[in-house]
Amino acid sequence: MDYRRASDIYTKNPTEETLRKVTNQLISAMTLKEKLDMLKGHAMAVTAKNFLKNGRFYNAEPYPAGGCKRLGIPEILFTDGPRGIVLRHSTCFPVSMLRGAAFDDELEYKVGEVFAKEASAGGANLFAGICINLLRNPMWGRAQETYGEDPCLLGKMGVALTKAMQDNGIIACPKHYALNSIEDLRFSVDAKADERTLHEVYLPHFKKCVDAGAMSIMGAYNKVNGTYCCENKALLTDILRDKWGFDGFTISDFFFGIYDAARSVKAGLDIEMPYTFKYAFIGSRLKKGDITESDVDVCVGRILRAMLRTLPKHRKHPESVILSKEHTDLARKVAAKGMVLLKNKEKVLPIKNGSKIAVIGRYADKINVGDHGSSNVFSPYTITPYQGLCNRFGKENVAVYNGCDTKKAKETVAESEYIVVCVGSDWLQEGEFLVNLGNVKKKPKGSGGDRVDLHIPEEDVALIKALSDCGKKLIVNIMGGSAYVINDWADCADAILMSFYSGIEGGNALADNLSGDNNFAGKLPFTIAKKAEDYPDFLHIGAKNKEIEYGYYHGYTLFDKKNIEPDYPFGFGLSYSEFEIGKTECSNDEEKITVRAEIKNIGEADGDEVLQIYIGSNGTDKDRPVKLLKGFKRISVKSGETAIASVEIDVEDIRFYNPDLGEWELDESYTVFAGTNSKNAVPVAEISFH
């Protein structure tokens, strides 16, 4: 039996019995050394070649793992993400946080199809860019890599990307499993969570991706409840496999994810990536009896079954698909759809044709697409805000000053009617922690990592305040990975928007929205607080105690429970039009809850609105959130017209976890809320289960 024969047999008769049979035959045909090689990353030579050939250390070519040449078993060929394929010079899409703000899982599926094509063209067969760690505090430096603060939003977006990859024969690998949302201390922090919090808040989106067919999961660096994730049997076996039925393979986070080979193998960690450090000692641990060959066979079987299920659908795409116009056009569309308009005083936007515009600030004409760590996509060009506005309004109508000196800024805006000031963060202030040094006060230049302040930099605030005195229409464009505290200067601006890190076509997308060629419809995928202290606790470098309690409440659930007034609620976003939710109907049976609502566009512009359905429990003495997002639907409605938005929710998704029984249970009754953000959602129905 060789791999091709096994694949042919399974393809012709794709049953679980056939899959187990051919997998066991392949394992029986392998030597012990070949089986051990299946558990190892082999990227050392590739990395050296990348550096010499491309001047790049990380992932310019796929990172190989496993494989058996004698039996024709292909290698796992890894590429990273999540804002595009890290290989070669691919299409840099907006970061996941902006795509989460689009509240459009159907659009995310289309993004995934592009990722799959470009991964294939670059030679990869596994995509580890499905980052679904939950944002509990905006200090987290890698917040830009995920979709937001809510498990439902994370689950729907993660599922869309997972399905798109696997439908196209690329192994989907959600990450970082689990409770990974502190960057600077990622190698040492111990995230503590009780069983209910773990299952209801921090894991359901991972389960959704598993249920959607994900064939790989990447473990995280941190500890959960005292044990490193890549050695954590409770996570990797008891929950992932025994409770959820996952039958794919697990990989370590890179370089320092594994501390003891035997512990990891016994816990359920299958492949060490990207090089072999600790798994180089598996042979000696076998001889000592710490693990058995049967343990190794289990790991190999999981890898082979995942490959046989997924890779036959793989289609090799030519390199010409990379950066195709179809792909860059989609990147532009996604960027425009996810930008969030927070303020539009006296309808100062959209900018009128023929207007004189000044683009000001440190990011006015600077490439700023996010983290420079493992998620970096090396696109050959990026449209800056200045370039995008020149493309739309004509270079003769657009002035630029790329800096924060208030005197030079005022000189630049003298002849302009509109000022677009570009503020926020870049890879120096947030992202993957590239230098494991520093402290909360001052970090090494270029280190990335967690943010040390939730306000935008002081010089940016000074610039905004100085320009607000110029008698011009002042638009503040915030670029960054997640929430900022902005109420100290918000009154100075006529309009405020969040463009996040908007990718290769971000400047053109910004111009599309500011001009009104596209109507804003992005919604905040997180809560913006009035003050930093309203968010849950966070740990920075320098903390003596590396343990942190991940509580049951965070984000809008915390604000609801404690009755804290947010500056901008989760799900909030303005439009150039106005919408009303009309007649709303709710029905349910034992399996589904269906909410249908009229969305009326009562404004003068065509646009999109997002119907958000929240559900809260009634009449129980147990601690429950006020309400939880359980479904959403983005819908286009022409001016003066009404459209019907329909949201289906699985009854399984409104259950709560009972840690005493280790089971999920329904409460007797629930309230269904409908709205366009977490704050304005109102009760529309009550449903009961007996």
| pLDDT per residue as tens digits for the range 26-40 | 999 999 999 999 999
**All domains in the chain, ordered by first residue:** 339-562 (3.40.50.1700), 579-688 (2.60.40.10)
Cβ contact 359:399 at 8 Å = yes
- What is the pLDDT at residue 2? 96
d(CA 515, CA 606) in angstroms, rounded, equals: 14
Q: Which token pair is 584?
A: 């709303």
Write down the pTM of the prediction. Answer: 0.96
- What is the pLDDT at residue 448? 86
d(CA 165, CA 293) in angstroms, rounded, equals: 33
- What is the pLDDT at residue 272? 97
Catalytic residue among 105, 150, 190, 253: 253
What is the residue type of 301? Answer: G
d(CA 213, CA 165) in angstroms, rounded, equals: 10
Query: Could you give the residue ranges of the DSSP H alpha helices within 339-384?
Result: none
Which residue, 504, 195, 467, is CA-closest to 332? 504
Tens-digit pLDDT profile for residues 222-279: 999 999 999 999 999 999 999 999 999 999 999 889 999 999 999 999 999 999 999 9
Q: In this structure, are strands 223-224 and 249-251 parallel, antiparallel, or unpaired?
A: unpaired
Q: Please list, in sequence order, all residues whose beta carbon lies within 8 angstroms of the beta carbon of residue 83, skipping any fewer than 6 positions away.
A: 92, 93, 94, 95, 96, 129, 145, 369, 370, 375, 377, 501, 503
Task: Return the number of other C-beta atoms located less than 10 Å from residue 293's C-beta.
Answer: 11
- What is the pLDDT at residue 689? 87
d(CA 526, CA 478) in angstroms, rounded, equals: 15
Which residue, 419, 397, 425, is CA-closest to 406? 419
Task: Return the number of other C-beta atoms located less than 10 Å from residue 47's C-beta.
Answer: 18
Q: Which token pair is 248?
A: 């794919």
Cβ contact 175:253 at 8 Å = yes
Residues of the chain whose pLDDT is less than 70?
50-55, 435-446
**Three-state DSSP class for residue 656:** strand
DSSP 564: P
- What is the pLDDT at residue 78? 97
Sheet containing strand 642-650, strands side by side? 579-588, 592-601, 642-650
Cβ contact 308:302 at 8 Å = no
Cβ contact 528:599 at 8 Å = no
> N- to C-terminal Cα distance for the chain?
54
Cβ contact 72:22 at 8 Å = no
d(CA 129, CA 375) in angstroms, rounded, equals: 8
- What is the pLDDT at residue 441? 44
d(CA 396, CA 402) in angstroms, rounded, equals: 17
Which residue, 173, 174, 132, is CA-closest to 149? 132
- What is the pLDDT at residue 437? 39
Sheet containing strand 126-131, strands side by side? 63-65, 76-80, 126-131, 171-175
d(CA 438, CA 547) in angstroms, rounded, equals: 19
Biggest CA-to-CA distance, the chain: 79
Is 512 designated active site? no
**Three-state DSSP class for residue 334:** helix
Task: Return the number of other C-beta atoms located less than 10 Å from residue 618's C-beta.
Answer: 13
What is the residue type of 659? Answer: P
User: Can you point out the beta strands (E) in 550-668?
Assistant: 579-588, 592-601, 607-618, 628-637, 642-650, 656-658, 663-665
HEC states along 83-110? CCCCCCCCCCCCCHHHHHHCCCHHHHHH
d(CA 635, CA 624) in angstroms, rounded, equals: 30
**Where is 46: in which H helix or E strand?**
helix 44-54
